[in-house]
Copies of this chain bind each other. A is one copy, B any other.
Amino acid sequence: MSSKRLKILVIGGSGTIGSAVKENLLQRHDVVTAGTKSGDVQLDITDPESIRRAFEQLSPLDAVITTLGKATFAPFEELEAAPLESSQHRIGIENKLMGQINVAQCARDHLVDGGSITLTSGILNEHPVPGSVSPSMVNGALDAFVRAAAMEMPRGMRINIVSPSVLRESLGKYGPFFRGFKPVAAEDVALAYSRSVESLVNGQVLKVW
């Protein structure tokens, strides 16, 4: 497997992690990037039809990687009991959680036999910080989804998830949330995506921290 040139879709390929992943994989593979506004193709992970169209357009694909997803940081006391429609958890559930799950469920039907899916969660599942209740919840859901989906993957396919700590490159935006956390470099995080795609691991939470 390590010698075959793969066609890999990186959804979020223009973001901090996505750019590093693209740079790493481009050395050995064909990389197509997707994003809501940037990238080689446009798609919105909250719109399943746009995901489906992208997979049909780019077929055959060997691997898909998602490196994006929004969730709401807020003090826990501000999170009110509310219907899902108006819940402060809705962005995380619709975007980072169900967006990536929908990509995975679509990729399962469209990738080549033996293809791989790699999602992104984060350290906040195991190590929450003040204000991270919603992102922590979303990351916990994603890690569990991948463990469960892996054992039912058809056609020799695999699925893993990369769980990075705060990125050195993102300290300007997220640093205040992550006091006391050792930041990791995007290029080191990219290695975990390469490991997911280019080795045979399956159902793993690849922690970079």
Contacts and interface: CB of A to CB of B under 8 A. Distances in A.
Interface of A: 47-48, 51-52, 75-77, 79-84, 87, 89, 93-94, 97-98, 101-103, 105-106, 108, 124-126, 128, 130-133, 136-145, 147-149, 151-154
A128 B148 contact: yes
11 contacts: A47-B83, A76-B152, A77-B152, A84-B93, A87-B98, A101-B137, A132-B148, A133-B148, A138-B141, A140-B141, A140-B142
Given A124-B148, A140-B140, A140-B141, 18 more contacts: A48-B83, A76-B108, A77-B152, A81-B102, A81-B103, A84-B94, A84-B98, A93-B93, A128-B144, A128-B147, A128-B148, A130-B152, A131-B152, A133-B152, A137-B148, A140-B145, A140-B147, A141-B144
Given A138-B141, A140-B143, A141-B141, A82 B148 contact: no
Contacts of A51: 81
A79 B97 CA distance: 15
Given A48-B81, A81-B48, A108-B77, A144 B136 contact: yes
Contact of A89 (B98, B130, B138, B142): B98
Given A128-B144, A136-B144, A52 B81 contact: yes
